Amino acid sequence: MKPTHCPPNCQNALRVADQLCQGRGVRLTPQRRQVLAILCDHHKPMGAYDILDLLKGEVSTAKPPTVYRALEFLLEQGLVHRIESLNAYVSCIHPEHPHASQFLICRDCGEVRELESRSVDQTLDSALKACGFKADSQVIEVTGRCLRCSEQTG
């Protein structure tokens, strides 16, 4: 089922996801694809229950485990990221390769911007090694105000 309200960049993200999954021999089932489409369509992070509400519009029998299982798959495939501090998910802007991400979270408009800075990643990596710490995730979340919001209010 193809969400008809999808903007072009979302269609593109879905196409990339299709290709990636095909290449890896994993299945982007219709439900996983719908969850991804919902996330691509909203440029803001969404909690699992927000996703469920929208998914119910298309799949009336959708239940929380449906969404969690789909999210787990999408996380594994690097198609979405989890923002711990918001307990929410965003679709990845460049899922073609595995990467550690930095997120800039605007506390006014809620916009989340994904950065992929290799130098931040490498610096963190060597700091972790020096401590002998084995990280589960290396996602950095920075909260503040985005350019648009700071320009609006000065």
- Note whether 79 binds Zn ion by CB under 5 A: no
- How far is CA 98 from each of CA 36, 49, 76, 77, 80, rounded to the nearest angstrom? 17, 27, 10, 9, 11
Contact 46, 88 (CB under 8 A): yes
Cβ atoms within 10 Å of 51's Cβ, excluding its own: 25
- Note whether 142 binds Zn ion by CB under 5 A: no
Q: Give the Cα-Cα-Cα angle 6, 94, 132 (nearest 5 degrees).
A: 140
CB of 76 to Zn ion, least distance (A): 13
Closer of 109 and 128 to Zn ion (Cβ): 109
Stretch that binds Zn ion, among 29-37, 39-47, 57-65, 92-100 (CB under 5 A): 92-100
CB of 98 to Zn ion, least distance (A): 9
Residues of this chain that bind Zn ion (CB under 5 A)? 92, 101, 106, 108-109, 111, 146, 149
